[in-house]
Amino acid sequence: MLIHPTHRAHPLVEPADFAAPRLPDAVAAHEPPLRTVFAWAGEYLCGPHPDLGRRGAVCPFTDTSLQRGLFYLSVHAGTPEEPDELAALLLHYRDWFAELEPKRGPGAQFKTIVILFPDLTEFGVVDRAQELLKPQYTRDGLMLGEFHPGPPQKAGLWNPGFRPLHSPVPLLAIRHMVPTDFPFLRDDDTTVAAYLQRFGDRVPTHLREHVRAAADRLTRSGSAS
Render pLDDT for 17-28 as a digit per residue (tens, 0 to 9). Answer: 999 999 999 999
For 33-48, the pLDDT digits (tens) are: 999 999 999 999 999 9
Give domain status of residue 107, yes or no: yes
Give domain status of residue 219, yes or no: yes
Contact 190, 138 (CB under 8 A): yes
In whole angstroms, give the CA distance from residue 118 to residue 150: 13
Report the pLDDT averaged over residues 198-211.
91
Per-residue confidence at 166, pLDDT binned at 50, 70, 90?
Answer: very high
pTM for the full model?
0.93
Residues 73, 141 within the same domain:
yes
Residues 94, 198 within the same domain:
no
**The pLDDT of residue 225 is above 50:** no
Give domain status of residue 78, yes or no: yes
Residues 173, 191 within the same domain:
no
For 67-120, the pLDDT digits (tens) are: 999 999 999 999 988 999 999 999 999 999 999 999 988 899 999 999 999 999
Give domain status of residue 2, yes or no: no
Residues 82, 36 within the same domain:
yes
Give domain status of residue 184, yes or no: yes
Give domain status of residue 9, yes or no: no
Residues 183, 159 within the same domain:
no
Residues 189, 154 within the same domain:
no
Task: Give residue 158's pLDDT.
Answer: 87
Residues 70, 138 within the same domain:
yes
Task: Give residue 219's pLDDT.
Answer: 86
**The pLDDT of residue 223 is above 60:** no
Residues 171, 131 within the same domain:
yes
Contact 134, 187 (CB under 8 A): no
Domain boundary residue, one of 177, 194, 217: 177
Domain boundary residue, one of 154, 177, 200: 177
- Domain containing 116 equals 15-177
Residues 206, 159 within the same domain:
no
Give domain status of residue 136, yes or no: yes
Give domain status of residue 113, yes or no: yes
For 110-160, the pLDDT digits (tens) are: 999 999 999 999 999 999 999 999 999 999 999 999 999 999 999 988 899
Residues 162, 207 within the same domain:
no
Residues 118, 173 within the same domain:
yes
Domain count, the chain: 2
Residues 25, 127 within the same domain:
yes
